[in-house]
Chain A
Amino acid sequence: EPEVTQTPSHQVTQMGQEVILRCVPISNHLYFYWYRQILGQKVEFLVSFYNNEISEKSEIFDDQFSVERPDGSNFTLKIRSTKLEDSAMYFCASSEDNGAFTHLETEAFFGQGTRLTVV
């Protein structure tokens, strides 16, 4: 069964360093997302990406963050100058374009997550 894959599964980085989290969405999906989950808290939306551009972003997704689809298969989240509070599980997700007028009912398929620890 096709799945979203994320690498690495765990990343430790020093405060102030840049990190890139990588994701390979399901191949025929056209919508891509990043979510994060701070330990013990709920999952929070960061950004959605469609047709090679950001379609929506949350207030969390500030200038420190950027996303890219560099080669048609990978989808990356870059965090510049990491802070301690960036420590979280980061989930990539993707969903298909079902051709309907609304995207409302299309489920997002999540990867297994990357646990980022900033020290």
Chain B
Amino acid sequence: AQKITQTQPGMFVQEKEAVTLDCTYDTSDPSYGLFWYKQPSSGEMIFLIYQGSYDQQNATEGRYSLNFQKARKSANLVISASQLGDSAMYFCAMREGSNTDKLIFGTGTRLQVFP
């Protein structure tokens, strides 16, 4: 079974609108961390936001927020007021348990923002 599932290979959104990128995860470990990274066409991976499994509130970072639904094992990224520069690949990732450093990535969602 996939540890991280991103079911949307591509998404379109109009500038200034909000968009939700889906991510579900699979783990039996009670301790885990969830991350979102942005990969623009230039290739680098940019950290956006983090949510811990024990966090009581949804994480927010500027225009990014994470809709964390623990019972459903989902950690959807919400981008508000989309900008043309938000066009990129977005990857959801998980660090599973407290004894590992590795991030497990999903297959990504390509977001295109149009004027």
Contacts and interface: CB of A to CB of B under 8 A. Distances in A.
Interface of A: 31, 33, 35, 41-45, 48, 50, 55-56, 58, 89, 91, 93, 95, 101-105, 107-113, 115
B4 to A, nearest CB: 8
Contact of A42 (B47, B101, B107): B107
Interface string B43-74: 11111001010000000000000000000000
B66 to A, nearest CB: 13
A56 B43 contact: no
A48 B101 contact: yes
Contact of A111 (B44, B98, B100, B105): B44
Nearest to B106: A42
Interface string B79-104: 00000000000010101011011111
A44 B93 CA distance: 11
A42 B50 contact: no
Most chain A C-beta atoms within 10 Å of own C-beta, residue among B43, B46, B93, B97: B43
Contact of A104 (B47, B95, B106): B95
B50 A113 contact: no
A45 B95 CA distance: 11
Given A45-B102, A48-B102, A55-B101, A112 B35 contact: no
Contacts of B28: none
A69 to B, nearest CB: 15
